[in-house]
A and B are shown apart, each in its own frame.
Chain A
């Protein structure tokens, strides 16, 4: 009974193979995503307000671009994958490395979030220190010296020499 249920819940076999065959190529999958982007962009373009006395209004170019993307996405859907083996290999990222990328992304996010709260020197020093450790740098003393000295040096260059003020944050500068 359970087996029967699971079979009936799945897609009919022929349909499924067809769908898989169509979506097997990377190009067709990407082109579907691009089509979605193009449609959303087009919907927004058609909602742009228009004015009476303009020959070409602000919506002309966006509409053209949207339709152009639709056209190119369709072209991509039917074009063969002629990537080299090397290009394909690039996508073979081990799970652990994806974690690394996401981790660095999260650190960057924290950096941005804390930048105006804690100030440039503190956040940059912490970022360089922890990001380097996270990526496998072992010598903590060198790391500590470099991260603090570097952040302070950059802060000085920007605020004093280039007259660009960076957030000073919690430090009494």
Chain B
């Protein structure tokens, strides 16, 4: 099937009444959950997974994609109104969005955010349509060795780009990989680390990890901050109207950061958070009056908002065409694919074009819904921020529990969920990033499989990883991704030392 036919199939799928309805639901729920302080797209997607059971996989995944970019947008609303980003990808939004809201122009700030997100989202979907099939047709000839290298790159990239210590991020990734070795080995049938417990034979479900490390750990933080009164003082929204001057100021950053955001979203390990920060910094650097930034600048708000939405679409490129997620959120999304029996990867485009193209095309609709939903309705949706914290916390805990129970029908998994909630909270306390853990957990099985397949092909010789030119170059990039930040850190340290003398 050619690309054109594929796109037509995609349009047919995405424009069916059912798809449109579920995109709307997905975007709405995503915005809703993303707006809640502390809860990001990972929790939003994980909580929604049980709801998709029994649904048509295409429609379910279209909805999940909507939850993802909806959650990113919801996060920017709480950034602007409360200076409390629900999602790390919208921290940069609060830099100029919150001061603008404090000036009494919250409506304007929300309108700018909605329009910038729409432009960023829409432009990057066009790029996604061009790039994903190209990458898929290249990736179809990748050897197991190349796949192994690619996944390793994903892990090293996310570790070196995580906030704080790279060593801690790597430890987090190794721990995630260790947890996934629990259960029956898929290739030899050996029982590993099951301690004779039949509940562990199939390994731990990824929802246990995702909801434990993210949702429950976030609940702990919510409990500690439950007396934070800022929630009650949300600013009045005010007029949503933008002046001609505002529009003029927005066009530049929107066109620039749609592209930058998309590229950063495609790269492994980067994603919305890094894209929004880089966009904010570049916009400030090229601005004629950088002193306005941080005080409610239109450009300073439009840049990160365009970028984080563009990055979310960009993140679909490796997910859909290689089957390899580049970030914690897309890793959970991959989990959602697998739960529904869909294996993303180079074959998805040819085998199940309605899913591949349906998801991509549905993003146009999703972005339009996001705009419709958010411009007139945002003051009403923002009411959720008034839900008393104790109630909110209880409800989030209950949702996480049902999410896991509905997948396993087993209380053992619920105890495991509690355990990983504690682990996730401790990881937060001691600054171990959780995204490398979940990415390693999701990639672990595939990583081990491709590693052992490669060595079986080569009769145990490691040279196979160095004979395949694709694998070698990716491995080299993976090594660089670990060492370059280290070297630049050392150099910075040297410079600082020199300055002191």
Contacts and interface: CB of A to CB of B under 8 A. Distances in A.
A42 to B, nearest CB: 11
A142 to B, nearest CB: 8
B451 A135 contact: no
Given A76-B168, A131-B397, A83 B190 contact: no
A97 interface: yes
Interface string B386-414: 00111101110110011001100001001
B193 interface: yes
Interface string B163-182: 01101101100110110010
Q: Classify the interface of chain A: helix, strand, loop or mixed.
A: helix
A26 B432 CA distance: 12
Interface in A152-173: 154, 158, 162-164, 166
Contact of B167 (A55, A61, A75, A133): A75
Contacts of B406: 158, 162, 164, 166
B409 to A, nearest CB: 8
B188 A83 contact: no
Contacts of B185: 58
Interface residues of A, number: 66
A4 to B, nearest CB: 41
B391 A128 contact: yes
Interface stretch (B274-282, B366-374, B452-460): B452-460
Nearest to A88: B431
Interface in B186-204: 187-188, 190, 192-193
Contact of A135 (B174, B193, B394, B398): B394
Interface string A81-124: 01100010011010001001100110011011101100010001
Q: Classify the interface of chain B: helix, strand, loop or mixed.
A: helix
Contacts of B460: 55-56
B205 interface: no
Interface in A41-70: 41, 44, 48-49, 51, 54-62, 65-66, 68-69
A58 B190 contact: yes
A45 B488 CA distance: 37
Nearest to B389: A135
A136 interface: yes
A124 B415 CA distance: 16
A128 B418 contact: no
A68 B393 contact: no
Given A83-B164, A101-B220, A124-B398, A136 B226 contact: yes
A58 B451 contact: no
Contacts of B54: 162-164
B436 to A, nearest CB: 12
Given A62-B178, A164-B406, A79 B167 contact: yes
Contacts of A164: 50, 53-54, 406
B394 A132 contact: yes
B51 interface: yes
Nearest to B455: A56
A30 B181 contact: no
A83 to B, nearest CB: 6
Nearest to B391: A132
A58 B393 CA distance: 41
Nearest to A114: B411
Interface stretch (B20-28, B265-273, B285-293, B422-430): B422-430
Interface string B142-182: 00000000000000000000001101101100110110010
Nearest to B181: A62
Given A62-B193, A154-B398, A158-B406, 4 more contacts: A58-B188, A58-B192, A61-B448, A115-B414
Interface of B: 50-51, 53-54, 164-165, 167-168, 170-171, 174-175, 177-178, 181, 185, 187-188, 190, 192-193, 219-220, 223-224, 226-227, 388-391, 393-395, 397-398, 401-402, 405-406, 411, 414-415, 418, 421-422, 425, 428-431, 448, 451-452, 455-456, 459-460
18 contacts: A57-B190, A61-B448, A62-B178, A69-B178, A72-B171, A72-B174, A79-B165, A79-B167, A101-B220, A108-B397, A109-B418, A111-B401, A116-B411, A127-B394, A128-B395, A137-B388, A154-B398, A158-B50
